[in-house]
Amino acid sequence: MFRPLTDGLRGFDPYMVLADFRSYADCQRRVAAAYTDAADWTRRAILNCARSGYFSSDRTIDEYCRDIWRVTPLPIRPLTPGQVQAGLM
């Protein structure tokens, strides 16, 4: 069923889908092996969450707006419950 897709990517891959597939598959094997050690997996998951604050998408979007696009945010007023019930979304 997927033969035309895989054949096509082998002949023409403008988005480099297969460029790093080997390293992706290797990494997935390492992840699967790591998942079998529940204590280590839990430790890694907690550390990942604890360290992710600095890399939040909100911060990244703010930096793009300020440094790259040079735009400022518009204030948004949340709808009241009455407006939501009235379908004024």
List the pLDDT tens digit at each of the 89 positions of the chain.
999 988 888 888 888 888 899 999 999 999 999 999 999 999 999 998 888 777 778 888 999 999 999 998 888 888 888 888 888 66
HSE (side-chain half, CA atoms, 13 Å) at 8: 8
Does 86 reside within a domain?
A: no
Does 5 reside within a domain?
A: no
87 class by beta-carbon count within 10 Å (0-12 exposed, 13-18 middle, 19+ buried): exposed
Does 59 reside within a domain?
A: yes
Q: Are 65 and 72 a contacting pair, CB within 8 Å?
A: yes
**What's the domain range around 67?**
17-71
**Six-digit token pair at 12?**
């023409």
User: Distance between CA 53 and CA 47 in Å, rounded?
Assistant: 11
Give φ, ψ of 82 to 5 degrees. Answer: -65, -40
